[in-house]
Amino acid sequence: MAGTLALVARAIETVLVLGARGALGSRAARLLAAGLPAARVLGASRRGEAALGPGARAADVRRREGLARALEGVDLVVNAVGPYAYDPAPLVEACVAARAAYVDLAEDAAFAAALRAAAVRAGAEAAGVAFVPGCSTTPGLVEVLAQRFAALPALASVAAYLSLGSGNAPSAGLLAGLLRPLGRRLPDGGRAFGRVVRRDAAGRRRAFGRFPSGLAGELARVGAREVPLRFHAGFDRAALVHALRLAAPALAALPSPVLAPLARALLPVAHLACGVGTPLGVLRVEALDARGAELAAVEVVAERAGLDVPAAPCVWAARALRAGARTGVLRLADLVAPDEAVAALRALGCTVAERAAA
């Protein structure tokens, strides 16, 4: 569903962060408070004040009961409740009823599709409510940076490589989100982490496995075109990548409800891995021609606070919505220009290098 052409300015005085206790939700709340200093940023979780302290609200994204109360007086909802394997309809309906804009950090194309369908059914565009899914490293940031390649006539596809610093302590939700797609079919017929590939990034050879991008059909919109996007994920320690490849077939055979408790059980092991890892994270986005040759590239390196990068795009979306933005269901790239994203990343302390086309 496309947004309207008119710009609709909106006051954002109160922001509600769902999942504010999690690894990304807590960072999103901190960055929103810094990026929107005039706004009141409230946290929410299923246990409300018992989990987050005074002023927090109780909300369960899977249950309609209580969502209307949680959204009272809220101008913007930031959904950081992952993994995004639930029906977004109750939350979408509550946002439309409350006239609250919505942003999430989902990296799941099925969730985004369900959200889009729910927003259409709920009349989001007619109600003047904006929904911006995928405001994280992927698909949001990757697609924003890919706009650098819009003027390349030979552009045939985009490749993205995300190397995670294993020194960053994960949450059970982040771990479950990593495990859930492993071994499963991708739209092009391959399997997530079906094999390990090597790629130079941030000055050394790194290991990666294919991973869902969060975009429908693994297609990125670059300027006026849609091109295939091959997304890869990995770690600073190659042994972790190979371990995930070996585990992928078994994980693909597990029913989805098993993955959340499995992630909780594996969390102590993941924390042990932090002791041998580094906090350095790398994102490399490449423009490729029809032969697979690199035309241009953008590389982002976060030497510290690497988990701030996937949380930051929700702040950029909030600022754009506050300044005036289209209603309906939008992509982050509809709201944020590459120059803005690069400046924001550098403000976070990241190094951003670009190799322009020859």
The CATH number fitting domain 138-305+343-355, selected from 3.90.1150.10, 2.60.40.2130, 3.30.360.10, 1.25.10.10: 3.30.360.10
What's the pLDDT at 5?
A: 36
What's the pLDDT at 278?
A: 86
* DSSP assigned state of 236: S
* DSSP assigned state of 192: T
The model's pLDDT over 230-270, given as tens digits with 9 standing for 90+, comes to 999 999 999 999 999 999 999 999 998 899 899 999 999 88
Architecture category of domain 14-137+310-336 in CATH: 3-Layer(aba) Sandwich (3.40)
The model's pLDDT over 319-345, given as tens digits with 9 standing for 90+, comes to 999 987 678 999 999 999 999 999 999
Question: What's this model's pTM, rounded to 2 decimal places?
Answer: 0.93
The Cα 123–Cα 144 span in angstroms is 27
- H or E stretch including 355? strand 351-355
pLDDT of 84 above 90: yes
Amino acid (one-letter) located at 149: F
Joined tokens for residue 356: 């322009």
All structural domains of the chain with their residue ranges: 14-137+310-336, 138-305+343-355
The Cα 261–Cα 84 span in angstroms is 15
Count how many residues are written for the chain. Answer: 358
